[in-house]
Amino acid sequence: MSVEVTRLPSGLSVVTDRMPHLETASLGIWIGSGSRNEKPDEHGISHLLEHMAFKGTKRRSARQIAETIEAVGGDLNAATSVESTGYFARVLKADVRLALDVLSDILSEPTFDVDELKREQNVIVQEIGATEDAPDDLVFDRLQETAFPLQPVGRSILGTPDTVRSFNPARLRSYLSRNYRAPNMVVAAAGAVEHEAIVTEVDKRLASFKGPAAPDPEPAHFRGGTKVETRDLEQVHIAMALQGLPMRDDQLYSLQVFTSVLGGGMSSRLFQEVRETRGLCYAIHAFHMPFADTGLFALYAGTDETDAPELMRVIIDQIGNATETLSDTEVNRAKAQMKAGLLMALESSEARVGQLARQMLAYGRPIPLEEIVAKVDAVTIESARAAGRALIGRARPAIAALGPGSGLASTAAIAESLVRRAA
């Protein structure tokens, strides 16, 4: 078996997948801490910390960090999500040790220089502004706020201009010290890597991360509701969410299949009925995002304001009908798509390393492909339908709408009929 796992005495986990046909390696350090781990006065600090990690250490300036990796033809990046933050690199196999050195350096010895901090705060404020100008992105921020109001899991990962500008080096160090703990960290590598060599380097370079696990975030509670925002736009952007399932739920794969049939691709019911048959929109899709203790089923569509009420009525009808009329052909197609996606991830070291890191953070172990495939295969037409019925009966939906016109509120209200239909 090519996947190997070592847990260091500190609690930090190392997982690797050697892919001998590759000449490159993807690797990174993932922390089980994201925007939902922020205190009320820390909105946006996890994302700011991710940016500041690249802005200088005791050994390297911000420019030297970038040049060190790019001088060997590699690339360096990072990402913050609701429940995790990852710092990763892709390099040639001869430069794996160098990449580990840089990644460990930016996390263990960041300087948080005041001048760099001011510049990066301004950069993130510009990023927030860019999101405000992208309604198809902004509507999901509004949706998250509506689904989980006044909760860390419902806040934008970016923060607000005021919160981002409020942080100083001491606040960043405090957040890092509280949340970046070895038991909450995973080093993952895939491609042209040697497990024992990775373990040796990690044990040496990340020894400063120790102590008990970071405190758990507050539980998430899906509330639902409606948020309508009139804007001078060409289209109405509508997003709807229902309470989904957590990562470890036994019915997760059944719900994923239901979601795929409903809005997962060009053959999905929503795409075929809303776009192909009725021509009500250009883009429409659905997805399910599981968290540790809850989940979010969401769908999005952009349409002309005059078509918005009809579009929402068709969406509600399609969701309700799918809970009763899902066919074997549709379920088998969705299962095939899911399995193909899993296998395709094995052909890319970048996709594979991300997959391994997520599994370690969520389950504490890498999940064998055979185990996942077996769970996908176990989904039946009835279990997929049941997952859909449970979805619409779990809680009132959350709806967010941005765009022109005075009919947004009535369009959003149509979604409430889904709850009445379930009852």
User: What is the Cα–Cα distance from 414 to 399, expressed in whole angstroms?
Assistant: 10
- Is the CB of residue 330 less than 8 Å from the CB of residue 5? no
Q: How far is CA 95 from CA 2, 69, 193, 286, in A?
A: 21, 9, 10, 40
- Is the CB of residue 422 less than 8 Å from the CB of residue 393? yes
Q: Token pair 């889904």 is at which residue?
A: 418
CA angle 266, 269, 275 (to 5 degrees): 65
The catalytically annotated residue of 42, 50, 83, 330 is 50
User: What is the Cα–Cα distance from 258 to 265, expressed in whole angstroms?
Assistant: 12
Q: How far is CA 5 from CA 15, 273, 353, in A?
A: 4, 46, 13
HSE, CB side, 13 Å, CA atoms: give it for residue 245. 20
User: What is the Cα–Cα distance from 325 to 228, expressed in whole angstroms?
Assistant: 32
| CA 11 to chain CA centroid, nearest Å | 24
- Is the CB of residue 110 less than 8 Å from the CB of residue 55? yes
> Residue 292 is encoded by which pair of tokens?
């540790």
Instruction: State yes or no: is 50 an active-site residue.
Output: yes
Active site residues: 50
